[in-house]
Amino acid sequence: MADFSNMLAFAPDIIRSMPLIFQTVQIVAYLFFVLFFGSIIIRGFRGYLPWHMKLLGRLGFGFIALVCAVAFAPLIPLESTGIYRIIFTLMQLNLWIAGIISSVVLTLSLFLISNKIYNVRGMEKAMDKLKARLEKAKHVMKDMSGKSIIQNLLHPVRLAGIIVFAGFIAFALINFRGFPNPTENVLSAIGLNQSDIDNLAGYINAVSPNQTAPMPEGCVSPLVLAQNFQEAILQNSLPVYADSGIKTLIESNSKESVELMYRIEYNQRVYALAITTKQSVCSATGSQFCGCINLGSMV
């Protein structure tokens, strides 16, 4: 039997926190979109830019692409229903598609705008820095020439880096226990496990009307009878149905033993509402079996 007390205790806080949680997740997603779209658009710039200007351009053009994506996303039809609609909404698939289209258009436009635009001063500064690094590299390579690979690797600075790298990787691998399961972590935080969720799903399935399997003509779902006469059932004020023929009818169709059976008058018809030893509730008329609902996960 599932214990949902911990989940119910957390439910008010979780519900109250949902707007803040969704807002935080959306802000993180927008930041990712800005960086991703911006990295595409900045490639269309044909001139030279130092790293900090590339970063600013990436953020700026990424933000412009995000605004365009948000504007065009409603125009992209994503016909889906059920679980796929939920997945597409959570993944913001229409925003992804609109963002890619916007990035391609803006990349092309930036490529055309930046034609024959050169930052000569910036290129000269970059060349001076590159020449200085080249001279330093030549000096280092001259010192390393004539030494074996082992001798070069045993240089104190390189050796320290190798030790730190190898030691850190080894420590991580020793303590690695597999990638975490986010679902299990969240369920554990509220005192539940996967079997509790399965029981909850069974409960919801039991109490939800089954539109794909309608009751036979003249029948009423056992859940409808149980809900309408719930108070009388709890007070044990319903008359007991002692018809062995109906009991046999229910047991033969449900493959379960009837523990208790009530006689119920509903909509000017007489029904038998039976409770089985396996915690199922079944209904039947005087001559027809209607159906059963297993309430084991609900009790």
pLDDT in tens, 158-178: 888 889 989 999 998 898 887
**Coil, helix or strand for 284?**
strand
pLDDT in tens, 19-33: 787 788 889 989 999
Asked whether 179 and 270 are in contact (CB, 8 A), the reply is no
Please enumerate in sequence order all residues whose Cβ is within 8 A of that of 103, keeping only pairs 6 or more positions apart, or say none.
Answer: 37, 40, 41, 65
Please enumerate in sequence order all residues whose Cβ is within 8 A of that of 274, keeping only pairs 6 or more positions apart, or say none.
Answer: 241, 247, 250, 258, 259, 260, 261, 262, 281, 282, 283, 284
Query: Residue 112 has which token pair?
Result: 């055309």
Please enumerate in sequence order all residues whose Cβ is within 8 A of that of 125, keeping only pairs 6 or more positions apart, or say none.
Answer: 50
- pLDDT, residue 80, reads 61
Domain map (residue ranges) of the chain: 5-121, 147-192, 210-294
pLDDT in tens, 192-212: 667 766 666 665 565 554 444
Burial of residue 100 (CB within 10 Å: 0-12, 13-18, 19+) is middle
What is the pTM for the complete model shown?
Answer: 0.52
pLDDT in tens, 205-263: 655 544 445 677 888 888 888 888 888 887 888 888 888 899 999 999 888 899 889 99
* Torsions phi, psi for 47 (to 5 deg): -85, -175
pLDDT in tens, 54-102: 899 999 999 999 999 999 888 877 766 566 667 777 778 888 999 999 9
Q: What whole-number percentage of the chain has pLDDT above 90? A: 18
User: Taking Cα atoms as reference points, which of 264, 265, 260 lies closest to residue 280?
Assistant: 260
Asked whether 229 and 238 are in contact (CB, 8 A), the reply is yes
Q: What is the mean pLDDT of the chain?
A: 80
DSSP state, residue 259: E
Measured distance CA(294)–CA(281) in Å, rounded: 6
